[in-house]
Amino acid sequence: MEILGYQFMQNAILTGFLGGIACSVIGVFVVLLHMPFIGVCMSHAAFAGALLGLWLGFDPILGAFIFSLAAAAIVGPLADRGDLNPESSIGVIFSLMLGVAFLFIGLMPGTKSAALELFWGNILTNTQGDIILLGIVAAIIVILVVLFYKEIQATVFNRDIALAVGIPSALVLYGILFLTGAAITVSLRSIGGLLIFSLILNPAAAAYQLTYSLKRLFLLSAAFGVLSCWLGLVFSSLFNFPSGATIVIVSSLIFMVAAVFSPKRKVKGWRRKTDPEIIE
């Protein structure tokens, strides 16, 4: 327990809490809008942008943010137009981003340790500044979800219906993509460019197995996100594992347990519960 007294550990716990919330709340959008591929694409773009920053000597966070937003600007219209098969175009951009990332690493002079850290992430090396930035982004995401809950609910249900009742669903969609870029950017250093998307998708996908209420989905997803980070942190310090990898594995295990015990697999039981008046 004495490890909790160290500043780096306290920072890591706080990072896990804020990053877990930011990523897993965004994950709810990714799951409901059926856009996991777009999220993967943006994560790898952020990774490439951060590497460009490292190579050219400007802030990697800035590079990550610009690149992930640029990826959103390219792949967003594909999703928004409702193209039947946007996956191929998104796949091309995804692999391009990965190629660009490796190119930047290759071009980088000297030691590559900082670049490799962006691969795996390290939750233990976060600075006070990183945490403040993460806290700001997490707070913005939560506040916007609360303020625009009904617009978000209508848009994730069906964009055409949202549009038909007078909600500018394209604006809501692009807002969501913008927040996704922000959440990926600020969590990149802790979780790592190759792993960050798992922390976005897995807690939300796990929560999706367990509830038919959108409010509960957000809360459960955030809880699973934080739990993944904290348990991952515990295992990584106990067994000296890389923190980002451990967090991702824990979040995947939570998803598997949720999928096995999902009440959504038993639709008839649910119907008896919700329609007491109906005799089936």
Residues that bind other proteins in the complex, under the rule CB under 8 A: 32, 147-151, 153-154, 157-158, 160-168, 208-209, 211-214, 216-217, 264, 267, 270-271, 274-275, 277-278
- State the minimum distance, in angstroms, from the CB of residue 158 to other proteins: 6
- State the minimum distance, in angstroms, from the CB of residue 170 to other proteins: 11
Q: Which two tokens stand for residue 54?
A: 């490292």
Distance CA 49, CA 36 (A): 20
- State the minimum distance, in angstroms, from the CB of residue 117 to other proteins: 37
Q: Which is nearer to other proteins, 211 or 237 (CB)?
A: 211
Any idea which residue has 């096995």 for tokens? 260
Q: Which two tokens stand for residue 1?
A: 């327990």
Q: Which is nearer to other proteins, 31 or 48 (CB)?
A: 31
- Helices in 33-112 by DSSP H: which ranges? 36-56, 60-80, 87-107
CA distance readout (Å), 127 to 6, 9, 14, 74, 190:
13, 11, 11, 32, 10
Distance CA 18, CA 201 (A): 16
CA distance readout (Å), 237 to 6, 27, 123, 178, 252:
13, 26, 11, 34, 19
Q: Which is nearer to other proteins, 8 or 215 (CB)?
A: 215
- State the minimum distance, in angstroms, from the CB of residue 39 to other proteins: 18
Taking Cα atoms as reference points, which of 105, 113, 98, 5 lies closest to residue 46? 98
- State the minimum distance, in angstroms, from the CB of residue 24 to other proteins: 15
Q: Which is nearer to other proteins, 2 or 160 (CB)?
A: 160
Q: Which is nearer to other proteins, 113 or 274 (CB)?
A: 274
- State the minimum distance, in angstroms, from the CB of residue 71 to other proteins: 25
Q: Which is nearer to other proteins, 92 or 171 (CB)?
A: 171
Q: Which two tokens stand for residue 65?
A: 């943010």
